Structures are given as structure tokens and as C-alpha cells.
Amino acid sequence: MRITDLIREAGPTVSFEFFPPADEAGSVSLFETIASLVPLHPAFISVTYGAGGSSRERTQRLVERIRAETDLGPLPHLTCLGHRTTDIDRIVDRYEALGISSILCLRGDRPREGTEAPGDFTHAADLVAHVRRRSPGLEIGVAGYPEGHPETPNTLVQMEHLKAKVDAGADFIISQLFFDNRAFLDWRERCRLAGVAAPVLAGIMPITSIAGMRRMAELAAGTRFPAPLMRSLSRAGSDPESVKRVGIHWASEQCRDLLDHRVDGFHFYTLNKSDATRRVFENLGIVDSAGLRSP
Ligand SMILES: Cc1cc2nc3c(=O)[nH]c(=O)nc-3n(C[C@H](O)[C@H](O)[C@H](O)COP(=O)(O)OP(=O)(O)OC[C@H]3O[C@@H](n4cnc5c(N)ncnc54)[C@H](O)[C@@H]3O)c2cc1C
């Protein structure tokens, strides 16, 4: 079933994001993680797309394996920087042959060192327009940034770029992770005011360690870490289990509040682990995420 149909008919969706492991041990552990999240009945699980050649092939192989070994619907990520149109067409054809019905179209990050390979696309909107033209039946998701994308000069321009992706044919939006619901809810309202009507899934990442939080801050530059969260983390001090409890409690409260504000769905950045995500659901009293519509 299409993700947008699920949102419309069954209410907020839950989805989990994974990255393709680099080795066999990582694969074994990932499939254990996936198995432990299956009882929550996610609407889909997404698979990130790496910057380098071998990691890109790993994405496609992982999507194939999820398709073959589980009943879950994979949502492959696809980035376009450094890709020729023929590369994109080959990948999309491979996914369509597998019966994949939705894909997340992204630009990707520029390499930190060296120059990027020449490609036919500049912005995610170019990729969306191309995939929409070539595969009219495919459902397309795009990324949104409640607290701004680091390269965008201001939030008005940022909104124009998001609207361009939706106007080019995107069906839904997955947000960058955030810890401040007010920032997300305000941005969601600004999306509606700008005429961006596509459903928006909220990106949630429970903090599980201080080192992990620092990595997140680097990956999602611009994300605010609210003072009450930092106060709780500082009270937790150097005890890893207390830090994790604070992170899980914060994410649980975020989700509870977002449900009250009729969020379209939650997209959990899992880092290939299930424990924190499962504990958020326990805190919310949810044993099965299918049909989360608020009473
Ligand atoms: C949910 C989610 C999943 C992600 N998954 C991956 C992944 O699997 N692999 C990966 O490598 N990265 C991933 N990323 C990171 C993403 O690739 C980077 O944030 C990237 O820098 C921007 O991608 P985008 O698709 O948002 O690009 P775009 O929408 O093209 O935006 C990129 C920048 O260009 C600006 N821009 C857009 N259009 C124009 C225009 N016409 N003129 C001038 N400027 C413009 C935007 O405002 C923005 O600053 C993900 C991000 C999110 C939020």
C-alpha cells in the first residue's frame, strides 16, 4: 500500500531508518534489529544511500534482501549528486522490478574532500522531476528541514525549495531529526501557509549517549538542543544508562505531544539498533503501531 494512502486511511504511520552494514556481523545484527521491530508493524522501513560506490550497491542489495526475507515494505533512499541519468534509471528500474512502490529522492551531501563525480542533477527537485516523468506510478518522498538546511541562506528561500520538490511531484516529506517540537510544528504550519500540502513525517532520534549526540549535531547541523534537555543530560552526568533514559524519555514526550498535534507519522532514525525505539513505544503504551490515530 502507498505510504500516503496509509496516512490518509489509518492515521499516523511509524517507520524506521537503517543504513546498509559494511560486513556480515553488521548484517546479522541488523536483521535481529529488524525482527525485534516487526511486532510494531511499521508502515515501511527505509534504507539510506551512501556517498561511495560500494556502499551504494549495498543499499540495493539490502533492499532486495528485506524484500525477499520480510513482509516489510522497504523505502530506498536515492541521492543524485554525481549520478548520470542512466545510473538513476538503472537503479529505479531495479527497484520497480522488485515491486518497490515508494522511493526517497535526495540530493546527497557534497564530498568533504576532493571534487564530486560529474552528474546530471544539481538539486533533489531535478531528481524528483526526472523520476516522476519516467515512473508516474512510483510514490516519491523528499527531505524537509524544520530548523533549516545548512546551505540555505534563509528560511523563506528554504521553503521555496521545499515547495519546488513537491511541485515537481513529491508525495510526502520526511523531516530532519529535531528535539524541539515547537520548531517542527511551526515549520509544518509554515509549509501549509506556503501551499505545501504533502504529509510530513517527523524525524525522531532518541539520544542514547553523549558521543552519539555529538555525532548527530554534526550530521544535522542547525538542530537545536533545548536547554531543558541539556539540563536533564547534565544531571545524568557520566552514567551511560541515565543518559540513555533521559534521551528515551525526551523522545517519548516528543512523540506523545506530536500525536496530540495530529502528526502524519514518525520516522525513527534507529542507527540500526532497536532498544531505544522499542522503549519509546513502551513509554507511549503502544504495542502495535498500526492504527495510531488519536482517540
Ligand atoms: C529524511 C532524510 C534522509 C536522508 N537520507 C540520506 C541518504 O540516504 N544519503 C545521503 O547521502 N544523505 C541523506 N540525507 C542528507 C541529505 O542528502 C542532505 O541533507 C543534503 O545536503 C540535502 O539533500 P536534499 O535532498 O534535501 O537536497 P535539496 O532539496 O536539493 O537541497 C539542498 C540544498 O540546496 C538548496 N536548493 C534546493 N533547490 C535549490 C535551487 N533551485 N537553487 C538554489 N538552491 C537550492 C536547498 O535549500 C538546500 O540548502 C537525508 C536527509 C534527510 C532529512
pLDDT in tens, 125-172: 999 999 999 999 999 999 999 999 999 989 999 999 999 999 999 999
pLDDT along the chain (295 residues), means of 10: 91 95 96 95 94 80 96 96 96 96 94 78 98 97 96 94 98 98 98 98 97 92 96 95 98 97 97 96 87 57
Helix, strand or coil, per DSSP, at residue 201: strand
Q: Tell me, what amino acid is at 202?
A: A
Cα–ligand 1 centroid distance for 232 (angstroms) = 32
Q: What is the pLDDT of residue 10?
A: 85
**Ligand 1 atom nearest to CA at 78:** 8
What dihedral angle (degrees, nearest 10) is formed by the CA atoms of 231, 232, 235, 239?
A: -130
CA-closest candidate to residue 159, choices 123, 107, 198, 194: 194
Q: Which three cell numbers stand for residue 238?
A: 557520566
Q: What is the pLDDT of residue 248?
A: 98
Query: Is the CB of 223 within 6 Å of ligand 1?
Result: no
Alpha helices in the chain (DSSP H): 3-10, 24-37, 53-69, 85-97, 124-134, 155-167, 181-193, 210-219, 227-236, 240-260, 275-284
Q: Which three cell numbers stand for residue 189?
A: 504550519
Query: Is the CB of 160 within 6 Å of ligand 1?
Result: no
> Which residue has 555529538 as its cell numbers?
214
Please pick, among 17, 32, 113, 116, the residue that the annotation labels catalytic.
17
**Ligand 1 atom nearest to CA at 141:** 1
- Residues contacting 29, CB < 8 A, separation 6+: 21, 272
The pTM (predicted TM-score) of the whole model is 0.97
Cα–ligand 1 centroid distance for 217 (angstroms) = 16
CATH C-level class of 3-284: alpha beta
* Residue 241 designated active-site: no
Q: What is the pLDDT of residue 52?
A: 63
Query: Is the CB of 151 within 6 Å of ligand 1?
Result: yes
Query: Is the CB of 107 within 6 Å of ligand 1?
Result: yes
Cα–ligand 1 centroid distance for 108 (angstroms) = 6
CA-closest candidate to residue 204, choices 222, 224, 177: 177
**Ligand 1 atom nearest to CA at 143:** 53
Query: Is the CB of 161 within 6 Å of ligand 1?
Result: yes
Query: Is the CB of 174 within 6 Å of ligand 1?
Result: yes
Domain definitions of the chain by residue range? 3-284
